Amino acid sequence: MKQFLLLIIFIPCMALCGRAQYTLAGKIEYEKKTNVHALLQDGNDDESDNSWLERMKSTVPKFSSAFFDLIFDSSRSIYKPGKEVDNPNKMFGTPPASDNIILTDFNASAVKAIKNVYEQKFFVQDSMRKLKWVEKDELRTIADYKCHKAVSKICDSVYVVAFYTEDIPVSGGPEMFGGLPGMIMELAIPRLHTTWTADKIELISPAEADFKISEKGKKVTEKELSETIQSSLKSWGKWGTKYIWWTVL
Residue 51 CB-half CA count within 13 A: 1
Is residue 24 within 8 A of residue 169, CB to CB? The reply is yes
Q: Give SS3 for 239.
A: helix
Residue 71 makes CB contacts below 8 A (sequence gap 6+) with: 26, 27, 77, 78, 204, 206, 210, 211
pLDDT for residue 207: 95
pLDDT for residue 234: 64
Is residue 183 within 8 A of residue 168, CB to CB? The reply is yes
pLDDT for residue 10: 40
pLDDT for residue 136: 97
Identify the H or E element spanning 8.
helix 2-20
CA dist 97 and 116 (Å) reads 8
pLDDT for residue 88: 59
pLDDT for residue 100: 94
pLDDT for residue 77: 98
Helices (H), 108-176: none
pLDDT for residue 16: 37
Calculate the CA 42 to chain-centre distance.
Answer: 22
Q: Where are the domains of the chain?
A: 24-247
CA dist 165 and 143 (Å) reads 10
Domain 24-247 fold is outer membrane lipoprotein receptor (LolB), chain A (2.50.20)
pLDDT string in tens for the chain (249-residue length) = 444 334 433 434 433 343 347 999 999 999 999 988 887 777 665 555 667 667 777 778 888 899 999 999 999 999 999 998 776 555 454 566 789 999 999 999 999 999 988 778 999 999 999 999 999 999 999 999 999 999 999 988 999 999 999 999 999 999 999 999 999 999 999 999 999 999 999 999 999 999 999 999 999 999 998 888 877 766 566 666 777 788 888
